[in-house]
Amino acid sequence: MTESAPAPAPKRAAKPSAKASAAAGQPDAKPSSPAARPAAKVPAAAKPARPRKPARQAAVAVPEPTHRHPSLGLAPLDGNAGFPAAATALRRDRAAIAADALVTAVAADPGLQLRFDDGGLRRLLLDAEVLIDRLAMCVAANDSRPMAEYAEWIGPIFRRRRVSLLDVVALCEGIREIATPTLGHDEAEALGRAIDAGVAVLRKNGRLAGDGHRRNALLQWLYRGV
């Protein structure tokens, strides 16, 4: 009796490949390894934005300065732009105003009469008349420049005469006190602005060395060797 041959073992079905599964629409049974996964696309770094050029601005017209010298194009003073009638009255009565202004200055500072002899007081009287004439120019043009310029010019002259600029300030204040009641409101304001401009220059220059004002005795003794 012959023995029959053993039946062959059934073959295992081959696993579908990943490509076949993807083609058939079936998910892959075994997830692929991380190395096999496609790398995600990294967006390129954004380029820094270029700074925009500032837009051109329209040229702004710069106003012309009002303190230019007349030789550089500044118009001369107009003697009729202010109060010419009040200026005429000041020039007409300048001798009387100067005398009363000197008396007022001496009353405010009695030492003024002791610092000058009769000749010095007469010269101060003439100086007061010149100041009034200069103030009349300011009132006529309603501009304080003539008085401020004159106060700047007379500094060296009074230094040579050994006259303190503070004494000239006292004369200006005396003129203010005497002349203001004789003027109207607007004319008095124009006169006051001119006197203030001149007094400011005189006080500034009076602080410089060489002025004839009275020094502090203690400070003069302390700094006598300096």
Q: How confident is the model at residue 202 (pLDDT cuts 50, 70, 90)?
A: very high
Instruction: Report the pLDDT value the prediction gives residue 209, as an integer from 0 to 100.
Output: 63
Residues 6+ apart with CB under 8 A from 15: 29
> What stretches of 77-143 show up as alpha helix (H) in DSSP?
84-92, 94-108, 111-115, 118-141
Kindly report, residue by residue over 51-64, the tens digit of the pLDDT.
666 556 555 555 55
Amino acid letter for position 175? I
Q: How confident is the model at residue 207 (pLDDT cuts 50, 70, 90)?
A: confident
Q: Return the closest-CA partner of residue 90 out of 77, 81, 100, 75.
A: 100
Give the least confident one: 4-8, 18-22, 168-172: 18-22
Instruction: Report the pLDDT value the prediction gives residue 75, as an integer from 0 to 100.
Output: 72
Query: If you search the block for the tokens 């993807």, which residue do you land on?
Result: 22
Is 102 in contact with 124 (CB distance < 8 Å)?
A: yes
Q: How confident is the model at residue 7 (pLDDT cuts 50, 70, 90)?
A: low
Query: If you search the block for the tokens 């124009």, which residue do you land on?
Result: 190
* Residue that wins the pLDDT comparison between 48 and 205: 205
Q: What is the CATH number of domain 84-210?
A: 1.10.490.20
Instruction: Report the pLDDT value the prediction gives residue 54, as an integer from 0 to 100.
Output: 59
Q: What is the pTM of this model?
A: 0.63
Kindly report, residue by residue over 66-103, the tens digit of the pLDDT.
555 666 667 777 888 889 999 999 999 999 999 999 99
- State the Cα–Cα distance between residues 195 and 90, nearest whole angstrom: 14
- State the Cα–Cα distance between residues 130 and 143, nearest whole angstrom: 17
Cα dihedral 79, 83, 84, 90, rounded to 10, equals: -120
Amino acid letter for position 94? R
Q: How confident is the model at residue 115 (pLDDT cuts 50, 70, 90)?
A: confident
